[in-house]
């Protein structure tokens, strides 16, 4: 009787090596990975809001002309120029950076994007010029500092303002 049990047990071991441990379950479907945002979170509306005639694309190292935007966009104090996470663009003349790295205008003027050598690399800057033909970075040794005093230039009043007629 004992011999009969051993022969049956030995035959099962030869047939299946896992029969001693019991059944082994294997995956019949591949495990799926996790996804960030799950497609349900809204975008953060980041990016450049006011463009200059010539501006730098973040992913391309050459200067491109933007055809869908006006050549030089005029901004007034408080206008948001760039919304960003971190400092992709740094503030230049007549602009400031908010707590969330938003760059906004401090004076009325035209937006300019430019790059400067900084330490071992380059930095992208955003600044405002008071006259449409000016370029940044400004040669302060030759032309002096750009100052905005809030005065009205009667010879060159700037872009035309929309007026409302109450008639």
Helices (H) and strands (E) counted in the chain, each on its own, are 2, 10
* pLDDT over 90 (residue 3): no
d(CA 120, CA 25) in angstroms, rounded, equals 58
Q: Which architecture, in CATH terms, is 47-143?
A: Beta Barrel (2.40)
3-state secondary structure of 15: helix
Where residue 12 falls among pLDDT bands split at 50, 70, 90? low
pTM for the full predicted model: 0.60
Q: What is the mean pLDDT of residues 12-19?
A: 59
**Which contacts of 148-154 are long-range, i.e. CB under 8 A and separated by 24 or more positions?**
148/94, 148/107, 148/108, 148/109
Q: Quick check: 129 and 109 in contact, CB under 8 A? A: yes
What are the extents of the domains in the chain?
47-143
Structure confidence by residue, pLDDT tens digits, 123-148: 999 999 988 888 888 888 888 888 77
């Amino acid at each position: 009787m004992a011999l009969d049990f051993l022969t049956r047990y030995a035959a099962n071991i030869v047939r299946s090596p896992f029969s001693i441990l019991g059944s082994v379950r294997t995956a019949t479907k591949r495990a799926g990975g996790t996804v960030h945002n799950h497609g349900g979170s809204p975008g953060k509306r980041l990016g450049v809001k006011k463009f200059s005639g010539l501006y730098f694309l973040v992913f391309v190292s050459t200067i491109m002309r933007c055809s869908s935007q006006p050549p030089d966009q005029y901004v007034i104090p408080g206008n948001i120029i760039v919304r960003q996470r971190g400092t992709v663009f740094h503030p230049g003349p007549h602009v400031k950076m908010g707590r969330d790295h938003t760059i906004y205008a401090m004076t009325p003027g035209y937006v300019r994007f430019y790059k400067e050598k900084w330490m071992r690399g380059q930095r992208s800057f955003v600044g405002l010029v008071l006259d449409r033909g000016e370029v940044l970075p400004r040669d302060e040794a030759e032309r002096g500092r750009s100052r905005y005093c809030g005065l009205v230039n009667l010879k060159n009043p700037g872009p035309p303002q929309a007026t409302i007629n109450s008639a």
